[in-house]
Amino acid sequence: MSVPRPNPLLSDRNVDFQLYEVLDTAALCALPAFQEHSRDTFDLLLDSTRRFARDVLAPTYRPMDATPPTFEHGRVRVHPAMRSLYADMVDLGLLTATRPPDVGGQQLPLTVNAASSVYLMAANLSAYGYLGLTLGAAHLLEAFGTPFLREQFMARMYRGEWTGTMALTEPQAGSSLADVKTRATPAPDGTFRLQGSKIFISGGDQDFTDNIVHLTLARIEGAEGGTRGVSLFAVPARRPEGDRFVPNDVQVAGVIHKIGWRGLPSLVLNFGESGDCHGWLVGQPGRGLACMFQMMNEARIMVGLNGVATASVAYQEALAYARERPQGRPTGDRDTARAQTPIIEHADVRRMLLRQKAIVEGGLALLLATSTQADLAHHAPDEAARQRAHLLLDLLTPIAKTFPAEKGFESNALALQIHGGYGYSSEYLPEAWLRDQKLNSIHEGTTGIQGLDLLGRKAVAGGGAALQALDEEVRATTARARAAGVEPAWSDALEDVLQQATALTLELGARGMAGEVEAMLRHSADFLELFSVVAVAWRWLAQAAAAKEALARDAPASTGDAPFYEGKLAAAQYWFAVEVPRVPLLVHLCRTGEDSYSRMHPDGF
């Protein structure tokens, strides 16, 4: 009964607008790292990714959701479609698009890769998941692996012959990585023997490649407690022994029945049940978390993109449904002899659509701006510029991870709501995307952890330098918006709320320095929320500026593009009218340290 039409996943017009009108992504080609590239090579990637996502990947989403992996005789079988899907993704160069030529990559900007991968995620989050995890594992070995590990493990992952995972979480430790208990005992051959149990290992087994490398946190025998005793190991499912590969004593102990991402198994893995699990140290002993965290921004940006993608595909579905579904009549019209109108004519349906648009497109804009800082952090020509970009990247990452997860979930629920009773049926897809979205507030650091990270570390980083850099970026945007003739009250409001947020950060930082850490961090969730509103307002103002410039420059009314730009201005208006005024309320909660829940006795609930 679902509406038969191809879902575009994302609006191409919007993605191009973000890359080339809001941002000047082509300008990245001036950096030495990207000098081989041009908008043409960017568009080549985008075009092939869009086509593959729509034509090949999207049709596999529903079958993979309906037929999750099975677990029999100790092995996981995933959906049979994965074998060719994975090979196709590898052939498209998606594993190495951003990697340097010395590992076989094209060294495209992360910004462009983010825009292209969001199509893949929107089409089939689980299928992309294998790729994303492999990329993360291979990248860790690229950064910290010995030549042996790079040649034997990394290269095979980048070539698509093996996949990779991140094996961090343990049943008793969850988010508390300081409590990791998996042990690593040095062996005479320089490797280690691992023993322990990991949980929620996504892609921890599959049957479409020959091998899987688990990048695993463990504690070397005798290491100190806490985070500084944790090291990183590469643990293959099958290990090289002479010229062949033998089972490496990694057992699948159970499958978690996830409510979404059902094409990607989440497993309990036992390492070394028979005492024969070999691991190769990656990086320095005791530096496991440091290595892992060096990749953390990347992983969290990927989660943010997952969130945007999942909200986007549902928004596109709801939009098409709202345009097609006749129901009711305009306010005051009771003539049932006339045909019913499409529900997009109803104000409240439009409200729900515009809220989704504001979240989806505001979220994508934030992710792309964050990715640009990642490109600059790696490749800006001078050290000061790289450092500044790194501070901004660090500051924006917890927001870019959380905003699409939290508001995306709300957006996905609105897409379901627009479908009415049909939305509550599993014959329509919005409910599936709603399930998928919920994981994004949990994995790669829960929303609670992102709030602590933003307030306790990132916002106060560099003695205020991070916020100073954000302030400069925002002022560049308000200057552009004012010059373009965007409603001046929006620029004023953005500068005002950023100033409030900055002053608040200094106050809270001082409280922390004075030892009142609990009081400082009490409202970290509200702090994250308010910075999200501000950051997305910044990106909506940039979009409004680009839209105004286009309306003035191109006289697009004649080209039919005016509604697109007017829609951008309406969404920006929505954000400044509905969301930005909430910031002072949230600032007030953080500043006063409103104590309802902190003073609540556990027996009082």
For a second copy, the binding residue among 256, 290, 461, 465 (CB under 8 A) is 256
User: Candidates 157-165, 276-284, 349-357, 468-476 — which segment interacts with a second copy by CB under 8 A?
Assistant: 349-357
User: Candidates 23-31, 169-177, 184-192, 275-283 — which segment interacts with a second copy by CB under 8 A?
Assistant: 169-177
161 is catalytic: no
For a second copy, the binding residue among 70, 84, 340, 499 (CB under 8 A) is 340
For a second copy, the binding residue among 179, 276, 487, 507 (CB under 8 A) is 179
- Residues 428-447 within binding reach of a second copy (CB under 8 A): 431, 434-435, 438-439, 441-443, 446-447
Under the binding rule (CB under 8 A), the answer on residue 558 touching a second copy is no
Under the binding rule (CB under 8 A), the answer on residue 448 touching a second copy is yes
The structure tokens listed for 20 are 């080339």
x/- track of binding to a second copy for residues 111-130 (CB under 8 A): --------------------
Under the binding rule (CB under 8 A), the answer on residue 63 touching a second copy is no
The structure tokens listed for 249 are 């004593």
Under the binding rule (CB under 8 A), the answer on residue 591 touching a second copy is no
Closer residue to a second copy (CB): 71 or 574? 574
The alpha carbons of the chain give a radius of gyration, in whole angstroms, of 25
**Residue-wise burial string across 421-436, b where 16 or more C-beta atoms lie within 10 A, e elsewhere:** ebbeeeebbbbbbbbb
The C-alpha atoms of residue 344 and residue 323 are separated, in whole angstroms, by: 6
Q: How many beta carbons lie within 10 A of that of residue 346, not counting itself?
A: 17
Q: Which residues contact 364 (CB under 8 A, 6 or more apart)?
A: 10, 14, 15, 18, 115, 118, 308, 312
- Residues 356-395 within binding reach of a second copy (CB under 8 A): 357
Q: How many beta carbons lie within 10 A of that of residue 269, not counting itself?
A: 24
Work out how close the CB of 416 gets to a second copy at its nearest, in angstroms, rounded to a whole number. 7
Helical segments of 439-582, H only: 447-453, 465-484, 488-513, 517-521, 524-554, 562-574
The C-alpha atoms of residue 267 and residue 212 are separated, in whole angstroms, by: 13
Under the binding rule (CB under 8 A), the answer on residue 106 touching a second copy is no
Q: Which of 21, 406, 444, 529 is catalytic?
A: 444
Q: How far is the first Cα of the chain from the last one, in angstroms, to the nearest whole number? A: 45
Under the binding rule (CB under 8 A), the answer on residue 5 touching a second copy is no
- Residues 299-328 within binding reach of a second copy (CB under 8 A): 319, 323, 326-328
Q: How many CA atoms lie within 13 A of 288 on its CB side?
A: 29
- Residues 274-303 within binding reach of a second copy (CB under 8 A): none
- Residues 209-228 within binding reach of a second copy (CB under 8 A): 225-227
The C-alpha atoms of residue 103 and residue 117 are separated, in whole angstroms, by: 20
- Residues 20-39 within binding reach of a second copy (CB under 8 A): none
| Interface with a second copy: number of residues (CB under 8 A) | 100
Under the binding rule (CB under 8 A), the answer on residue 567 touching a second copy is yes
Under the binding rule (CB under 8 A), the answer on residue 67 touching a second copy is no
User: Candidates 38-46, 86-94, 231-239, 575-583 — which segment interacts with a second copy by CB under 8 A?
Assistant: 575-583
The C-alpha atoms of residue 264 and residue 435 are separated, in whole angstroms, by: 14
x/- track of binding to a second copy for residues 490-529 (CB under 8 A): ---------------------------xx--xx-xx----
Q: Which residues pair with 231 in a beta bridge?
A: 218
Please state, in angstroms and as integers, the Cα–Cα distance from residue 537 to each residue in 14, 322, 347, 542, following that order.
17, 27, 23, 9
Work out how close the CB of 323 gets to a second copy at its nearest, in angstroms, rounded to a whole number. 7
User: Candidates 19-27, 102-110, 182-190, 411-419 — which segment interacts with a second copy by CB under 8 A?
Assistant: 411-419
Work out how close the CB of 421 gets to a second copy at its nearest, in angstroms, rounded to a whole number. 5
Work out how close the CB of 516 gets to a second copy at its nearest, in angstroms, rounded to a whole number. 10
Under the binding rule (CB under 8 A), the answer on residue 417 touching a second copy is yes
Under the binding rule (CB under 8 A), the answer on residue 421 touching a second copy is yes
Identify the CA nearest to 317 among candidates 122, 481, 593, 91: 122
Q: Which residues contact 141 (CB under 8 A, 6 or more apart)?
A: 149, 150, 153, 154, 157, 213, 215, 234, 282
Residues in the chain: 605
> DSSP characters for 273-290?
TTS--EEEEESSTT-HHH
210 three-state secondary structure: coil
Closer residue to a second copy (CB): 92 or 358? 358
Catalytic residues: 444
